Homo-oligomer: A and B are copies of this chain.
């Protein structure tokens, strides 16, 4: 008994240090950018010697991977939380809650956002365990559309999708389980476009490409996401 608690104390401290290292790395990310993230700087910041960090992360890339997974999960959690408190039948409200939650998280954590949605870090290949966290937000958006279709609340005149594009949609359906069978080809296309637009708008704002075009970013984003919601029939 004694030994068990003692051991778990050690592992708890370990877990805390892992978190501290990641927090420090996140801070460095904000100052220097992903490419310049260095283990030595993290160690310095933590008051340890650089080799000590290797007890927690076997390499720089593993630390980067951990940050990416954390970023996806942080974003996913924020989105799920924000969406969950909206009345279930208010599909448009749920959709807008997701859009705003993504944007809010992104503006609060621009460098983590950039790590995930910006230029890929050179020489870094994202491992498979980033996939699941990466789809959390999309999952929520898809579910809203499915719910709306099920209750016949989706109002949109569907258009025909060319065969060349239609073929592509099978993997999407299968990825999201049985739900999307209920979405027609046209709605899946619209969904992918909406998803693209959401991140496109946020990236444009955060990466400075709307300077000179938009100054009231909040207002514009809200308005355009409303239009995108309408575009998918919500």
> Interface of A with B (CB < 8 Å)?
31-36, 114-115, 117-123, 126, 131, 159, 161-162, 164-165, 167-168, 171-172, 175, 189, 192-193, 196-197, 199-201, 203-204, 207-209, 212-216, 219-220, 223-224, 227, 231
Residues on B with C-beta less than 8 A from A121 are 33
Is the CB–CB distance between B199 and A209 below 8 Å? yes
In the complex, the chain B residue whose C-beta lies closest to that of A134 is B209
CA distance A118 to B164 in the complex (A): 29
In the complex, the chain B residue whose C-beta lies closest to that of A31 is B122
Residues on B with C-beta less than 8 A from A117 are 207, 209
In the complex, the chain B residue whose C-beta lies closest to that of A202 is B200
Given the known inter-chain contacts A168-B216, A171-B215, A200-B200, please indicate yes or no for A227 contacting B114, CB distance below 8 A. no
In the complex, the chain B residue whose C-beta lies closest to that of A138 is B213
In the complex, the chain B residue whose C-beta lies closest to that of A207 is B120
Is the CB–CB distance between B207 and A168 below 8 Å? no
In the complex, the chain B residue whose C-beta lies closest to that of A214 is B168
Of B35, B115, B214, B219, the contact of A162 (CB 8 Å cutoff):
B219
CA distance A67 to B80 in the complex (A): 41
In the complex, the chain B residue whose C-beta lies closest to that of A228 is B193
Is the CB–CB distance between B199 and A197 below 8 Å? no
